[in-house]
């Protein structure tokens, strides 16, 4: 049995400055570059939790709420929300900061799933992640239904087996199909 670790221990904060090479013709940070930064911050967080090589299994919906301008400082905050068997859900928030103006806004956020693997790429067990703060507990609680949703969408789980989703939509009194 692997020793459980706190969510806090997986926390990663990464800061970069938006430079001309990273921008589109409107001088805003390109979406693909943001996703690259998110993938790296989240992978480091998952590695810290698992102490293993990790691979990205999926990235949930990413939408870009407000542009991040050239010269802004981009801060990414990543943490494991919940660990399952070999997989971990990681939540990443992206902030854009204009230091001279003294503004800092949340630009976007996403959930990514990583799988810990051995040297041959085979999935391997990870420790449990223990949430401590109210926000960590809220993210932990929601992780099960987000996992079901992404596995159903990836055709890796039958909708009728997604019990958390069913109880969300139809209440807990939904009769489960007999296996
Ligand atoms: C991710 C990967 C290791 C899963 O391997 P697999 O043989 O399908 O393994 P399994 O079916 O046993 O699933 C292993 C875990 O991955 C999770 N998983 C697999 N596909 C997933 C998906 N699309 N979304 C979320 N989780 C997924 C499973 O739920 C399972 O989690 P659990 O162990 O916590 O229950 C494999 O598909 C892979 O190597 N993919 C390529 C990864 C990659 O190249 N990423 C980009 C570069 S890092």
Are residues 134 and 71 in contact, defined by beta-carbon separation less than 8 angstroms?
no
Per domain, the residue ranges of the chain are 5-130
Residue to mutate (ligand 1; options 46, 54, 57; most atoms within 8 A of CB): 57
Are residues 36 and 86 in contact, defined by beta-carbon separation less than 8 angstroms?
no
Task: Say whether pLDDT at 138 is over 70.
Answer: yes
Q: Region 157-167: what's the mean pLDDT?
A: 91
Q: Region 156-162: what's the mean pLDDT?
A: 94
Task: For domain 5-130, say whether CATH 1.10.3720.10 is its number.
Answer: no
Task: Say whether pLDDT at 132 is over 50.
Answer: yes
Q: Which amino acid residue places its CA nearest to atom 46 of ligand 1?
A: 56
| Residue 99 phi, psi dihedral angles, 5° rounding | -65, -45
Mean pLDDT of the chain: 94
Residue to mutate (ligand 1; options 40, 87, 90, 158; most atoms within 8 A of CB): 87
Q: Which residues line ligand 1 (CB under 6 A)?
A: 55-58, 84-87, 113, 115, 117, 121, 123, 150-151, 154, 156
Distance (angstroms) between ligand 1 centre and the Cα of 83 equals 13
Ligand 1 atom with least separation from CA of 125: 33
Q: Region 136-160: what's the mean pLDDT?
A: 96
Reported as type and span, the H/E element at residue 80 is strand 73-83
């Amino acid at each position: 049995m692997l020793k459980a670790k706190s969510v806090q221990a997986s926390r990663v904060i990464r800061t970069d400055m938006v430079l001309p090479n990273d921008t589109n013709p409107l001088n805003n940070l390109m979406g693909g570059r943001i996703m690259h930064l998110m993938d790296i911050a989240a992978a480091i967080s998952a590695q810290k939790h698992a102490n293993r090589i990790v691979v990205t299994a999926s990235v949930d919906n990413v939408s870009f709420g407000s542009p991040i301008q050239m010269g802004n400082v981009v801060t990414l905050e990543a943490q494991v929300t919940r660990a399952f068997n070999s997989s971990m859900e990681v939540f990443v928030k992206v902030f854009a900061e204009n230091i001279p103006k003294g503004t800092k806004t949340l630009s976007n956020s996403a959930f990514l799933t990583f799988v810990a693997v051995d040297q041959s790429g085979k999935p391997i067990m990870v420790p449990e992640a223990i949430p401590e703060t109210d926000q960590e507990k809220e993210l932990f609680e929601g992780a099960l239904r987000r996992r079901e949703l992404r596995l159903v969408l990836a055709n890796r789980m039958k909708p009728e087996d997604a019990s958390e989703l069913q109880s969300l939509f139809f209440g807990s009194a939904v009769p489960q199909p007999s296996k």
